[in-house]
């Protein structure tokens, strides 16, 4: 008697679960049918040529001669200190200039450099 009740309740639970998934499936099909589909054909390479910095979706910085003069920069280290995307790296006591641009170092001794 007890196993029959367990089997009946298990069958009822499975039936209820299957019916709700079928209902959800039919609702999602109706939603997909109501969505407008747009297809785009073509290819356009953007941002080639002389564009203003504000028109290009990339971070760019212009360090002109006036800015270098106003800052009193007398060498490359001083000029690149004006840019937030350039960071000085360890130059081993002034043996060479080493910079990282946007976190990427440009050392010739590195495999990716």
Domain count, the chain: 1
105 pLDDT band (50/70/90 cuts)?
A: confident
- The reply to whether 21 falls in a domain is no
Classify residue 86 by its DSSP letter: E
Instruction: Please report the pLDDT score of residue 113 as a whole number.
Output: 47
Residue 86 lies in a domain: yes
Is the pTM for the entire model greater than 0.95?
no
Tell me which H or E stretch contains 99: strand 99-101
75 occurs within a structural domain: yes
- The answer to whether position 110 is within a domain reads no
Q: Is residue 113 assigned to a domain?
A: no
Give the residue numbers spanning the domain of 67.
Answer: 59-105
Residue 16 lies in a domain: no
pLDDT tens for 1-43 read: 566 665 666 666 666 555 655 555 666 666 666 667 767 677 6
Backbone torsions φ then ψ of 88, nearest 5 degrees: -75, 145
Half-sphere exposure of 43 (CA within 13 A, CB side): 0
């Amino acid at each position: 008697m007890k196993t029959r009740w367990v089997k009946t309740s298990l069958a009822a639970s499975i039936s209820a679960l299957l019916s709700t998934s079928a209902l959800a499936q039919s609702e999602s099909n109706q939603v997909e049918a109501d969505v407008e589909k747009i297809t785009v054909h073509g290819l356009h390479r953007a941002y080639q040529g002389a564009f203003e910095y504000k028109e290009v979706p990339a971070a760019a910085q212009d360090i002109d001669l006036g800015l270098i003069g106003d800052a009193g920069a007398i060498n490359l280290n001083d000029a690149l200190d004006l840019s937030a995307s350039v960071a000085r790296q360890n130059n081993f006591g002034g043996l060479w200039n080493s910079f990282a641009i946007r976190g990427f170092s440009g050392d010739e001794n590195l495999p990716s450099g």
